[in-house]
Structure 1
Amino acid sequence: MAVDLLDHEVSDLCLGKPALRSLSISATIEDALSALKLTGENHLSVWSCDHSKSDEGEFGGDCVCVGKVCMVDVMCFLAREENRANPMLAMKSPVSMVVSEGSGVVRHVEAYTSLVEVIDFILEGAQNLIVPIDSRTSFNSRKKQLQKALFGPTLHNGREYCWLTQEDVIRYLLSLIGLFSPFPALSIETLGIIGTEIQAVEYHSQATSAIDAISDALTQQTSVAVVNEDGKLIGEISPFTLASCDETVAAAITTLSSGDLMAYIDCGGPSEDVVNVVKERLIEKELDEMLGLLEQLSLSSSSSSSSLLSSSSCSSDEEFGLSPSTTLPSTTRWGRYSRSSSYSARMVRRSEAIVCHPRSSLVAVMIQALTHRVNYVWVIEDDYSLAGIVTFSDMLRVFREHLQ
């Protein structure tokens, strides 16, 4: 019976999904940055189109989504050694310089593709599936031009598209979990899905040493663990959290330690003292242009700082549904998530790092991840040492093996 249900078409999971906001592969990083701020999206799809093959101009043609871009791509690019001295020039670079290049990160599928095929594509490395959707909205010429001016065209090949994520598939499987009994009740240790190949940095290490790890975690839709010298999990540098910040975090990555970077993106945003430390170190390193970028954005946000600080203040654990069973002792420092007053007004996840134990059941871990909108859960031992990580792709592999 479960096999029959998994033969449902992928279009069933796309009901109600909005059309993708898009960006041309010919755009610059500066264009991508402006579009991310204007749309409030965490990611934008990047398309390569040959409009000469269509009478619909920029809303048709032979188009393919080649990847996606987010604020984390931009800040990691600006923080790299070759771009630190002249970030304004670096932002003139083509967006192709930061588009995720991992094999099969995005993949086109038809609306009639079965869910089993989708799971196979994800296990092959796809992070997002590009699915055509029916648009019942009639776009007249003026609306098309307005759409193009604000967000870029949503129509490609004469159609609109959405993308399907690993989270969408896991949520669907959870709704059918009873059909897979009894294996979802087994522990993740028994199922052998605790991954040990993780991205991790030491608390006192320079944040610049974590740039590659952050980029890799973004591609893999995981996170970077911050551990102490004993291998115990202190917190994480989450691409999800960074995506809700602005490009000035590049300055923090350039000057701070990994632990201080956690504090910089902590709930409520960086304190004035931390910002001053970043500025002093930029001066010491003679990174005048990056300093100017930081000061310019800080100045532009000062008029709205009081209202934003009010709205971004930390809320209680209960408000965000945090389980006491996943909280470490008060002596252990865990990063919390928000943004400074200069950050965009996008919704941000403010929660403590999500952890489980090797004895946790698969279904419990699925619920944890879905509740907190993450694609992974850290696995810790009884002494709080980091044992590994469980990801959505690990979970999907177990379901696929069960079907076989």
Structure 2
Amino acid sequence: MEARLLAHEVSDLCLGKPPLTSLPISATISHALTALQSSEDTHISIWTCDHHHSTAEDFINDCRCVGKICMVDIICYLCKEDNVSCPSSALKSPVSVLLSHVPAVVRHVEPSASLMEAIDLIIQGVQNLIVPIKSAKNFKRKQPRQCPSIAPTAHDGGREFCWVTQEDVIRFLLSSIGLFSPIAAYSVESLGIITTEILTINYHSPASNAVDAISTSLADQTSVAVIDDDGVLIGEISPFTLAYCDEMVAAAITTLSAGELMAYIDCGGPPEDIIRVVEASLKERNLNGMLEEFSIYSSGISYCSSISSSDEESVTSPTTTRSGRYNRSCRYSARIMRRAEAIVCYPRSSLVAVMIQAIAHRVSYVWVIEEDGSVVGIVRFSGILEVFQKHLRSMTN
């Protein structure tokens, strides 16, 4: 049975996956924002393509995915001191400024790569495996709007790609969890996979103090714990939640406390009283550029709240505000998948239980707390994969 599991290839994890939404490295942040707003994907792949003739007869089409970006990258960029006063100018920057400086975030692999190879790469720090797939012409999915002045990128003669994530591998292993008895029933504490080095912010601290931590948690695929003065976990500021928000969350991060930000990004959209707090604070600090952008955004929320909840098409389809600007806020409650409430377990929780929790909530980590709510640490998918890696290798030795 174990040999059969080891025989699986990366292509087995690609079944049914849609082709990547992609942009060329020449795109701007504004182009990326448009693609994210109109796509069902939370991440956009960024590509470089070298089209040239090596000889008179041989045409070379060399395309490589060099990274990925999501709404969190844009939000954190807009929160930078140089950009907070004029977000519209910041959006004209090249998309390359958002790319991670970590060299192994994405990696091209062949469909024939083994499951063990995929696990090894993820443990080494690769977040997304780029895998060529068969043409998906018949795959029904919503196509993102074309970015102005950006031509579609033809990858390697028109080939399409998907990516395999940590979640894909964990979900695949969970489907065969019976093969890992009794390890699956061991506690996360006994397996030694609780990471105690975590990112935290006090509930009453300015949310702007967490910008660097949010960027780090995005790179590490973890989250920022919001705690009280006694170290009790109140909630979290999670990139997995922020990825479903609008770019104007940057205004909330700039002006609110960590606790207020949690309420702002919670399911259903930001409360009106907190919106007023953000607008008043932006005005007080003379951040007129961000205030103008945020006012357009908040008027879109008011418009959406007047739409009947029975009109599904109105809620899930992109709309424009009175100014004619594309508005994403009407899709807020339809797209967001989880609350700012943290997903937790206990040191004695079993490995399989933690896996199920993470998969159910679409995150790659679970917070570990004591009975009194104080934070012990965090369990990450990468740590879980190390357990499976050791077990699978022991079977082949």
Cα separation, 2, equivalents of 1:184 and 1:150: 52
The reply to whether residue 363 of structure 1 matches residue 362 of structure 2 is: no
Closer, same or farther in 2 for the Cα pair 1:37/1:74, shift >3 Å? same
Read off the aligned partner of 1:38 and give its amino acid letter: S
Where in structure 1 do 4 or more consecutive aligned residues deviate above 4 Å?
146-152, 308-312, 340-346
Q: 1:396 aligns with which of 382, 385, 390?
A: 385
Closer, same or farther in 2 for the Cα pair 1:392/1:108, shift >3 Å? same
SS at match of 2:283: helix
Read off the aligned partner of 1:223 and give its amino acid letter: S
Q: 1:350 aligns with which of 338, 344, 348?
A: 338
Read off the aligned partner of 1:369 and give its amino acid letter: A
Cα separation, 2, equivalents of 1:275 and 1:147: 31
Aligned pairs for 1:4-403 within 5 A: 4-52=4-52, 61-135=61-135, 137=137, 153=152, 155-158=154-157, 159-307=159-307, 341=329, 344=332, 347-351=335-339, 352-403=341-392
For structure 1, the residue ranges without an aligned partner over 5 or more in a row are 55-59, 313-339
Q: Between the two proteins, what is the percent identity of the paired residues?
A: 59
CA deviations 1:173-194 (Å, max 9, x no partner) are 1111111211111110000000
Could you say what the CA RMSD is over the residues aligned between the two structures, in angstroms?
2.7
Whether the 8 Å contact between 2:338 and 2:361 is mirrored in structure 1 is no
Most deviating of 149-158 and 386-395: 149-158
Whether the 8 Å contact between 1:154 and 1:160 is mirrored in structure 2 is no
- The CA deviation at 1:133 is 0.5
- The CA deviation at 1:308 is 7.5
Give the structure 2 partner of residue 319 of structure 1: none
What TM-score comes out, normalization by structure 1 length? 0.85
Read off the aligned partner of 1:248 and give its amino acid letter: M
- The CA deviation at 1:346 is 5.4
SS at match of 1:279: helix
Cα separation, 1, equivalents of 2:89 and 2:304: 28
CA deviations 1:232-278 (Å, max 9, x no partner) are 10000111111111111110011111111111112222222211111
What TM-score comes out, normalization by structure 2 length? 0.87
Closer, same or farther in 2 for the Cα pair 1:383/1:51, shift >3 Å? same
Cα separation, 2, equivalents of 1:168 and 1:51: 32
Read off the aligned partner of 2:221 and give its amino acid letter: Q
How many residues are aligned here?
Answer: 369
Read off the aligned partner of 1:347 and give its amino acid letter: R
- The CA deviation at 1:302 is 4.0
Cα separation, 2, equivalents of 1:299 and 1:53: 52
Closer, same or farther in 2 for the Cα pair 1:67/1:207, shift >3 Å? same
Cα separation, 2, equivalents of 1:350 and 1:311: 22
- The CA deviation at 1:218 is 1.1
For structure 2, the residue ranges without an aligned partner over 5 or more in a row are 55-59, 313-327
CA deviations 1:274-327 (Å, max 9, x no partner) are 111111111121110000110122234543332387899xxxxxxxxxxxxxxx
Read off the aligned partner of 1:243 and give its amino acid letter: A
Whether the 8 Å contact between 2:214 and 2:223 is mirrored in structure 1 is yes
Read off the aligned partner of 2:279 and give its amino acid letter: K
Closer, same or farther in 2 for the Cα pair 1:8/1:180, shift >3 Å? same
Closer, same or farther in 2 for the Cα pair 1:260/1:345, shift >3 Å? closer
Give the structure 2 partner of residue 322 of structure 1: none
SS at match of 1:269: coil
CA deviations 1:147-193 (Å, max 9, x no partner) are 78799647411211000011110111111111121111111000000
- The CA deviation at 1:28 is 0.5
Closer, same or farther in 2 for the Cα pair 1:199/1:39, shift >3 Å? same
Closer, same or farther in 2 for the Cα pair 1:371/1:189, shift >3 Å? same
Closer, same or farther in 2 for the Cα pair 1:232/1:250, shift >3 Å? same
Read off the aligned partner of 2:264 and give its amino acid letter: Y
Whether the 8 Å contact between 1:62 and 1:157 is mirrored in structure 2 is yes
Whether the 8 Å contact between 2:31 and 2:147 is mirrored in structure 1 is no
CA deviations 1:340-394 (Å, max 9, x no partner) are 9555475211344211100011011111111111111110011110001101111
Cα separation, 2, equivalents of 1:212 and 1:311: 40
Read off the aligned partner of 2:156 and give its amino acid letter: N
Read off the aligned partner of 1:62 and give its amino acid letter: D
Read off the aligned partner of 1:156 and give its amino acid letter: H
